[in-house]
Amino acid sequence: MSDAQIDSTQAAMFSLAGKTAVVTGATSGIGRQQAMALSKAGATVIAVGRNSEALDSLMKELCNGGVAVQADLATADVSTVLSEAIAMTGPVDILCNTAGVNLRQPADDITPESWDQTIKLNLTVPFFLGRALVAGMRERGGGKIINIASLQSERAFANSMAYGASKGGVSQLTRAMAEAWSADGICCNAIGPGFFPTALTAAVFENDELAQRNAAQTAIGRNGKLSDLDGITVFLASAASDYITGQVIFVDGGYTAK
């Protein structure tokens, strides 16, 4: 096999040409970064978000076009929210469950309503959205589900009890999804981001002392850049990860290693 053939084979492992990917929370932060990375790798992206202007902006930047779905997953019927988009794109091969919320409430301030809001968007929606797409993935011979875990899947942080509970649940949900669906070729994994500049972490990055303290707790010595998530997203969405399932992969600069 020539070097050119080897290069072609390696490139094909990571290519998403001909694939359709759903990304929730696609209008900002990690979700937007994932949508862009998947598009650059060849996928057609169905972008789900609440902000219509942000969705329109994203559509203009995607390399392979896409479909925008304006929806609030905290209230929408997840089993039908994608039906019109899928009718245009065809069956879904990749699902990135990226939409999330962290209300940062002290334990004494958590209400049943705020608890339910956090659990629903961070944990309930990923399960029911994944389940709604599994049948189509199964018919196509497989698929990829990528959930978003957290440092708080493993560690407790202040003022984040509901969020931490939901993200601990995401880790177990990912394993349970893998147990249930991987025999049909549907690999289910989660990315556990460290500290990245997003709307959810604005309070962290607006406090320079806190941001620097978090950076110092990593093995690499810096906080994350959103582009640091491109490789893991494409890897978990592509054929290169076909024998990896049920895993939570931390992309945190070594924060959890120390």
Fold type of domain 3-250: Rossmann fold (3.40.50)
CA angle 231, 226, 176 (to 5 degrees): 60
Average pLDDT, the chain: 94
What pLDDT was estimated at residue 200? 78
More confident residue, 4 or 25: 25
Q: Can you list the alpha helix ranges (DSSP code H) found in 90-186?
A: 112-119, 125-139, 161-181
* CA dihedral (193, 199, 201, 202) positive or negative: positive
Count of CA atoms in the C-beta half-sphere (13 A) of 92: 28
pTM, 2 dp: 0.94
Residue closest to 22 by CA, chosen among 194, 196, 237: 237
* Mean pLDDT to the nearest integer, 182-204: 92
Q: Could you give the residue numbers annotated as active site? A: 163
What pLDDT was estimated at residue 5? 53
What pLDDT was estimated at residue 4? 56
For the segment 159-177, what is each residue's pLDDT rounded down to a tens digit?
999 999 999 999 999 999 9
Residue closest to 147 by CA, chosen among 113, 184, 118, 121: 121
Count of CA atoms in the C-beta half-sphere (13 A) of 75: 5
pLDDT of 157 over the 60 cut:
yes
